[in-house]
Every structure is written in C-alpha cells, then in structure tokens.
Amino acid sequence: MSSHTSVLLEEYTWPEVETALEEGTRTVVVAVGSVEQHGPHLPLIMDTLAGDELSRRIAKKLGDALVAPTIRPGCSGHHMDFPGTITIPAETLMDLIRSYCRSLDEHGFEHIVLVATHGGNFAPVNTVAPEIARTIDANVIALADLDELMSLQNEGLREAGVEYEEPVIHAGAVETAIVLATNESLVRTDELAVGHEKPISTSRLLSDGFRSITENGVLGDPRKGTPESGETILDTVATAYAERIEAERDAI
C-alpha cells in the first residue's frame, strides 16, 4: 500500500508518516464520537461512524491532511437509560484529547482539528481546545458549534429535496440518512419509527436524559432519511468544515 491511497493515519507505517510529514502534510483531523443508543434502528456506533466519514471527507478535500483514529466513547450520561451505551466522564475525554494533541504535536503536525460529532462532547471539546493550544506548538482548531453543525445537516437534507427539518438531531432523518449513505446494512429498515418531533432544548436533553423525552430514543423521523440525502449532508458539512480549516490555517 502506498501512503498516497489512504488518509487514515492508523493504516500508515511509521516511515510513511515520517515521509508524509516531510512532504508537507501538516494537518491532522480528530473526530470525537460516541458509543450510545440511537433508537431501535441505528447501531450504537453511529456518531463514531459519522466522525470517521466526516474526517475522511474533510482530509480528502484539504488534500494535505491525515485522519487520526476517531475518539470513542464520549460523554453520553444522558443516554444511559438505554442498554449498550458507554459513557466516560468529561475529564476523561478531555484527558484523552490532551494526549492525542500532545502526541500529534510531538510528531510535527502543525494543525490539529477537533471535530465533535456527538452532542455531549461539544462542551468538553470547547473547554479543552484553548487550554491545550496554549501548551503545545501546534494550532488547535475546534469545530464544535452544535447549532452550526445541525443547521448544516438540515441544509444537506434540503439539498437532496427532503422537505423536513429536525430541531435537534438524534437518530432521526439526518443520522439515518448518513448510515444509509455509508453503511446501509447497519440500518434496521424494518424498525424505523418516529420519535419526539417537537423542538426541545439541548440543555434539557442533557440534564433530564433522553428517556424522559423519547421512549424509543429517537428525535425526529428516521423514515424521511434517504441515501441521497445522507450523501448531501456529509458533503455539505465536510465542505463547510474544510473551508473553515483552510481559513484558520491561512490566518496563522
């Protein structure tokens, strides 16, 4: 395997990483996912799959970036009423992010991009990013604005012609579409069922837990998700994020 066929750091050998750094690879993307319930139709690994896919697309668009292994699990205490969810304390997640950044910095990456793909991880990522940036040479770019991510995802849904919008995104049309587009066999298509559809504050979801709001763990309507919209959602987010990274790198 030549180092040019993949953007996945974990598939490289150490000499290939060394060569990539010497030849101008300066950026590494780290998605921060979860292992948590996503309704009766999507696998626990949903946010990690989305993280893998997004970072791969971002790195390909940038053309000079690698993808570090997506961090899993994340902060999912608000999903613990559903079996299978694995949660870690915010401090543990932040420690892991610090260690990722220090390691990647030591090897010579100049820009470390943190991409949060699970709601509970946004606050820890936003807390730790500026702190770690002060202690390492590398520039740390945190893409962790939950409202921005959800509005880009809804935009991607509309772009594929789906007339539907999700106020808060969890296991509904958007996430079902993403898995249909990337790993269709993981969607239990005979288990698609609507969940809580009305607007709800994300802070209430975090404090009260999902089970008090949605019996099946779903927000929105998974039946509205299509493979085509999964593709436009991923492309819309990856394009916007790659542009942001380019702008932040240029500003250094």
Asked if 232 contacts 156 with a C-beta cutoff of 8 angstroms, the reply is yes
Residue type, 32: V
CB of 202 to Zn ion, least distance (A): 12
Among 3, 20, 25, 47, binds Zn ion (CB under 5 A): 47
Of the pair 47, 105, the CB lying nearest Zn ion is at: 47
CB of 112 to Zn ion, least distance (A): 23
Residue nearest to Zn ion (CB): 47
Report if residue 53 touches Zn ion, rule: CB under 5 A: no
CB of 170 to Zn ion, least distance (A): 5
Of the pair 21, 123, the CB lying nearest Zn ion is at: 123
In this chain, which stretch among 42-50, 104-112, 125-133, 137-145 interacts with Zn ion, using CB under 5 A? 42-50
- Beta-carbon count within 10 A of 186 CB: 14
Exposed (0-12), middle (13-18) or buried (19+): which is 155, by Cβ within 10 Å? middle
Of the pair 224, 249, the CB lying nearest Zn ion is at: 224
Of the pair 46, 179, the CB lying nearest Zn ion is at: 46
Q: What angle do CA 138, 10, 109 make, to 5 degrees?
A: 15
Residue among 166, 221, 239, 177 nearest 199 (CA): 166
Residue among 5, 98, 124 nearest 59 (CA): 5
Q: Exposure string (b/e) for 107-143, b if CB count within 10 Å is 16 or more?
A: eebbbbbbbbbbbbbbbbbebbbeebbeebebbbbbb
In this chain, which stretch among 45-53, 103-111, 135-143, 201-209 interacts with Zn ion, using CB under 5 A? 45-53
Of the pair 28, 42, the CB lying nearest Zn ion is at: 42
Residue 113: enclosing H or E segment and its boundaries? strand 111-116
CB of 118 to Zn ion, least distance (A): 6
In a 3-state reduction of DSSP, which class is residue 86?
Answer: strand
Please tell me the count of residues contacting Zn ion according to CB under 5 A: 2
In this chain, which stretch among 40-48, 160-168, 186-194, 204-212 interacts with Zn ion, using CB under 5 A? 40-48
Residue ranges in contact with Zn ion by CB under 5 A: 46-47
